[in-house]
A = this chain, B = another copy of it.
């Protein structure tokens, strides 16, 4: 669970409230991690009962009281341990790729506008990240946290690179689709009746699989392979080695 560790990371900068944590999230890691207040408050409570943080109430007259959380020694240890551990990857989920995958059901124009829309959003994201880069520069200068700048900027660089690649792909995809023969679209209206027999398709799958031993063995392996030996209890031996 990364949320707790992200919270710990911020609280490690200095004691703060849930409300302030939300602000930090929104102005710094929003492009790769979101957290709602309704998630932050219970998380803090849980972390307190686990002894990772301590809470002190700051009484206020005119506004609601503040609950200020600070990190404890076990909390700091937990944070450092997690930071140094190899990263679990989150399962990718890209609705746009589902649309492209089944694109033969759409008209050429429909598919292109879906992609166009996608490209526009990516451009917006890129602009945002470029601003964010400048923002970090100014912020770091304003408060004197030059030692953090490298790390913060790196996360933005990652977003920029990945989004540029996405945009690149989207534009290329639009070109390829534009250039494609009309007959591959709107399959239903072209008398295309789907795969006549699913079972023969499945057999074809198996045939090709056996032609390429190991090729797709990674399907389930390559994603969740935070395979530090400690976490892979040898007893289970569930690894599907399939052909290697």
Contact = CB atoms under 8 A, between A and B. Distances in A.
B95 A194 contact: no
A116 to B, nearest CB: 9
Per DSSP, chain A at the interface is helix
A49 interface: no
Contact of A90 (B93, B184, B187): B93
A145 B204 CA distance: 11
A105 interface: yes
B219 A128 contact: yes
Contact of A5 (B97, B98, B221): B98
Interface in A68-108: 76, 79-80, 83-106
Contact of A128 (B180, B183, B222): B222
Nearest to A126: B222
B220 A101 contact: no
A142 B97 CA distance: 24
Nearest to A211: B138
A96 B176 CA distance: 33
A115 to B, nearest CB: 9
A238 interface: no
A212 B137 CA distance: 12
Contacts of A164: 165
Contact of A103 (B145, B151, B176): B151
Contact of A97 (B86, B158, B168): B158
Nearest to A188: B76
B101 A155 contact: yes
Given A169-B157, A211-B138, A212-B135, A31 B92 contact: yes
Across the A-B interface, give the 6 residue pairs with the lowest CB-CB distance, nearest first. A165-B165, A131-B215, A128-B218, A9-B102, A86-B117, A147-B184
19 contacts: A13-B195, A27-B209, A31-B92, A32-B98, A83-B114, A87-B114, A94-B158, A97-B155, A101-B151, A128-B219, A139-B204, A139-B205, A142-B207, A143-B195, A143-B200, A154-B177, A157-B169, A161-B169, A162-B162
